[in-house]
Structure 1
Amino acid sequence: MEQPIDLSPSAANRVATIAAKQGRDPALRLAVEGGGCSGFQYRFDLAGEIEGDDIVVERDGVKLVVDSVSLDLVRGSVVDFVESLGGASFQVTNPNAASGCGCGSSFSI
């Protein structure tokens, strides 16, 4: 069965590194909120609690946690960690996004 969302090996490695430094479980929460320059924006945080309606996928011992409402907006996406001359960040490749902004953290449907 295909996962509803995926975490790249690079993102899993980065989450594991951050969580180890903070002494926390390696679990990244992705949420979608209203706002940003395109209508919706992504929010990343280490997941504290996993709620009953959360979707959890796992790669290399690292969990990606998404609430059921946000999942409707990011289904089929891949969460990656990208390092470039401009900096390093988590990025979402979202097949549902009709457009996005230059910062890569907001999108519209």
Structure 2
Amino acid sequence: MITISANAAKRISELVGEDGNVAKMMRVAISSGGCSGFQYGFSLDDQRREDDLVFERSGIQVVVDEVSLNLLDGAELDYVEDLIGSYFSLKNPQATSSCGCGSSFAI
């Protein structure tokens, strides 16, 4: 299961609601790469795949494929705004270490 913070739900709603945007949901996926072995990927999508699991909050949907969910179970998706910028962030309890920028992790 993935938890979606109020900030993340609000920002996804804004992105999906932009004029001309056909995307209906946010996709969170994990791929190999980055300096720690795995990296997070965030994208807007307009279609669900057969192996997707759907998580909802405040009317928005976040989809995650089964393979990625195995590495994300218990994570919280958040949207952070600070001095260096704004970005989606995952607080992943399964990650044993992460790189300095937080975009890649190890298990």
TM-score, normalised with respect to structure 1 = 0.93
Decide which of 92, 105, 109 is 2:103's aligned counterpart: 105
Q: Counterpart of 1:28?
A: 26
The aligned runs of 1:1-109 (5 Å cut-off) are: 4-21=1-18, 22-109=20-107
In the superposition, relative to structure 1, how do residues 26 and 10 fare at CA in structure 2: closer, same or farther (>3 Å)?
farther
* 1:56-99 Cα shifts (integer Å, max 9, x gaps): 01000000100000000000000000000011000000000000
Note if contact 1:42-1:106 (Cα within 8 Å) is conserved in structure 2.
yes
Question: SS of the counterpart of 2:77?
Answer: strand
- What is the aligned length? 106
Alpha-carbon distance in structure 2 between the residues aligned to 1:60 and 1:97? 27
User: What residue identity is the alignment partner of 1:29?
Assistant: R
69-78 or 23-32: bigger deviation: 23-32
Amino acid in the other structure paired with 1:101: C
Identity in percent: 46
Structure 2, unaligned stretches of length 5 or more? Answer: none
Q: Deviations over 1:7-37 (max 9, x none)?
A: 1110011011111114334411000000011
TM-score of the superposition, structure 2-length normalised? 0.94
Three-state SS of the structure 2 residue aligned to 1:57 is strand
